[in-house]
Amino acid sequence: MFKILQYSFYDLIRSRWSYVYFLFYLVLGLALLFLNNSVSKSVITLMNIIIVLTPMIGTIFGVMYFYSSREFTELLLAQPIKRTTIFIGQYLGVSLSLSLSLVLGLGIPFTIYGLWQSSELANFGLLLASGTFLTFIFVAISANIALLNENRIKGFGYAILIWLFLAVIYDGLFLISLVVFEDYPLDKLALVATALNPIDLSRILILLKLDISALLGYTGAVFQKFFGTNAGMIVSFFILLVWTLIPTLFIRRIAVKKDF
């Protein structure tokens, strides 16, 4: 598995798209720090970008990789190698390469600006951790889509639809439910609904860490009561870990049962 991971990782690191992804975050970080002249304001702006962009890139890039490497995968399947070793190794290679581009692309400009002497170090670390979790989650989802659908057009369509649902449509449905059932106690509903969407969960964690939960109104008070505690933070990261493990286990299940 490590050899396959290593091959996938180095193959993607040499890809032009990895350089574009890295340069995008590098230029973005430099531009934000130059315009805002404040690490805290830059972190808030980055939150809105990373929470939406990172899942989209992970989904599209993951689908592209698994479809483009189908011939190489079939060659590996003809060798005496376990199927789970092949697909999990490829998945980790894609996820780690994208995560590295994210961390280095944002870490370099913020380090130059003096992040290590800033009080925003913990907030910036949480931002990168959330982006890394979202990368692993959505690359795993894209791997499942690519393995289940041999038709590339259909696979890309499903991938975009899932990202669009979790990033945009889900929030709209959630807000509508809060308005419709405003006369009922919605504390538990709000917490459960947030946990069912990794993008929303990451956004809430960062907002609360930045002490701007007042922007969320009533729900902000509910989230502050739960997620604002140390236990709430631990539970939140555990939920993100579960979100990472579940699609990864589905990759293993599909790899064992699917006829290639």
Tens of pLDDT, residue by residue over 21-43, are: 889 999 988 888 888 777 777 87
pLDDT of residue 132: 94
pLDDT of residue 189: 77
Burial 51-68, CB ≥16 within 10 A → b, else e: bbbbbbbbbbbbbbbbbe
Contact 91, 140 (CB under 8 A): yes
Contacts of 226-231 spanning 24+ positions with Cβ under 8 A:
226/191
Mean of the pLDDT values across residues 100-118?
Answer: 85
Is the pLDDT reported for residue 248 higher than 70?
yes
Contact 112, 118 (CB under 8 A): no
Instruction: Return mean pLDDT, the chain.
Output: 83
pLDDT of residue 39: 75
Tens of pLDDT, residue by residue over 57-93, are: 999 988 998 888 888 888 888 888 888 888 888 899 8
Is the pLDDT reported for residue 215 higher than 60?
no
Q: CB neighbours of 225 closer than 8 A, spacing ≥ 6?
A: none
Is the pLDDT reported for residue 217 higher than 60?
no
pLDDT of residue 41: 77
pLDDT of residue 126: 86
Is the pLDDT reported for residue 218 higher than 60?
no
pLDDT of residue 220: 55
Domain count, the chain: 1
Nearest alpha-carbon partner for 131 in 56, 63, 24 = 56
pLDDT of residue 244: 94
pLDDT of residue 250: 92
Nearest alpha-carbon partner for 212 in 47, 3, 18, 28 = 47
Nearest alpha-carbon partner for 38 in 130, 120, 127 = 120
Return the SS3 of 137: helix
Is the pLDDT reported for residue 161 higher than 90?
yes
Boundaries of domain holding 165: 2-257
Nearest alpha-carbon partner for 93 in 150, 171, 15 = 15
